[in-house]
A and B are shown apart, each in its own frame.
Chain A
Amino acid sequence: NAGVTQTPKFRILKIGQSMTLQCAQDMNHNYMYWYRQDPGMGLKLIYYSVGAGITDKGEVPNGYNVSRSTTEDFPLRLELAAPSQTSVYFCASIEKGPAGTQYFGPGTRLLVL
């Protein structure tokens, strides 16, 4: 199994641009999460999904959108990038959560200038 994969690894965006951060897992996990991690800080939950077709807001959802059309994929969309969205984004999955081992992807580093 590849586990949780994220693309791209790094991206620079201009203010106002849009992009989609990709996340995929091949473990057939139902629960998937998107977090952002600012420098020297912990992880903040953006959005999560407990199964295909179901998504819900986390602590910091403003400026982001998600969809979950399949069990495997959970893309995160930034519509109008702002400097405040400069961060490292982590995707995670768990078979049935949130108790148990959350498997994290390697992260996407985003810089908005």
Chain B
Amino acid sequence: GESVGLHLPTLSVQEGDNSIINCAYSNSASDYFIWYKQESGKGPQFIIDIRSNMDKRQGQRVTVLLNKTVKHLSLQIAATQPGDSAVYFCAENIVGTDKLIFGTGTRLQVFP
């Protein structure tokens, strides 16, 4: 079936540490994945994306890893800051469709 899920609903990290947010997807026909950040009371904000022909992509302080063998996606945030506190969603696009399927989300809490 089509589903995107997350292993950890809440992740608490200390400021300065690295954060890893995980996501599992079930549709092997998905060829494009996106991570979004949603702050309280706001709409989701694009962070980084990756296509299925890649296994790693880096942005500013963020890295997305894709393991197609086990259908797993992760978002790594380096040197986590208080401003990173938010809910993070992964989303997948099934090849040939114009739709994104979102996961449930993981809340990242950063404490001093």
Cα A41 to Cα B91 in complex, Å, equals 13
1/0 per residue, CB under 8 A from A, across B30-63: the answer is 0010100000011111100101000000000000
Cα A98 to Cα B32 in complex, Å, equals 9
- Asked if A99 contacts B104 (CB within 8 A), the reply is no
Say which size band chain A's interface belongs to: 20 to 34
9-residue interface stretch from A12-20, A43-51, A69-77: A43-51
Minimum Cβ distance to chain B for residue A103 (Å): 8
A101-B46, A104-B43, A106-B43 known; A45 and B99 CB under 8 Å? yes
Q: Which residue of chain B has the shortest Cβ distance to A45 in the bound complex? A: B99
Interface contact tally, CB-CB below 8 A: 59
Report if B25 contacts A (CB, 8 A): no
Kindly list chain B residues whose C-beta atoms are within 8 Å of the C-beta of A42.
4, 89, 102-105
Kindly list chain A residues whose C-beta atoms are within 8 Å of the C-beta of B102.
35, 42-44
Report if A102 contacts B (CB, 8 A): yes
Kindly list chain A residues whose C-beta atoms are within 8 Å of the C-beta of B97.
98
Kindly list chain A residues whose C-beta atoms are within 8 Å of the C-beta of B98.
31, 48, 50, 56, 97-98
Give chain B's interface secondary structure class: strand
Q: Which residue of chain A has the shortest Cβ distance to B89 in the bound complex? A: A42
Kindly list chain B residues whose C-beta atoms are within 8 Å of the C-beta of A43.
44, 89, 91, 102
A41-B104, A107-B43 known; A98 and B99 CB under 8 Å? yes
Q: List 6 A-B contacts (CB under 8 A).
A: A41-B105, A43-B89, A45-B99, A50-B98, A59-B99, A107-B43
1/0 per residue, CB under 8 A from B, across A3-47: the answer is 010000000000000000000000000010101000011111100
Within 8 A of B (CB), among A73-113: 90, 92, 97-107
Q: Which 9 A-B pairs have the closest CB atoms?
A: A104-B43, A42-B102, A101-B46, A43-B102, A42-B104, A98-B93, A98-B100, A99-B32, A104-B44
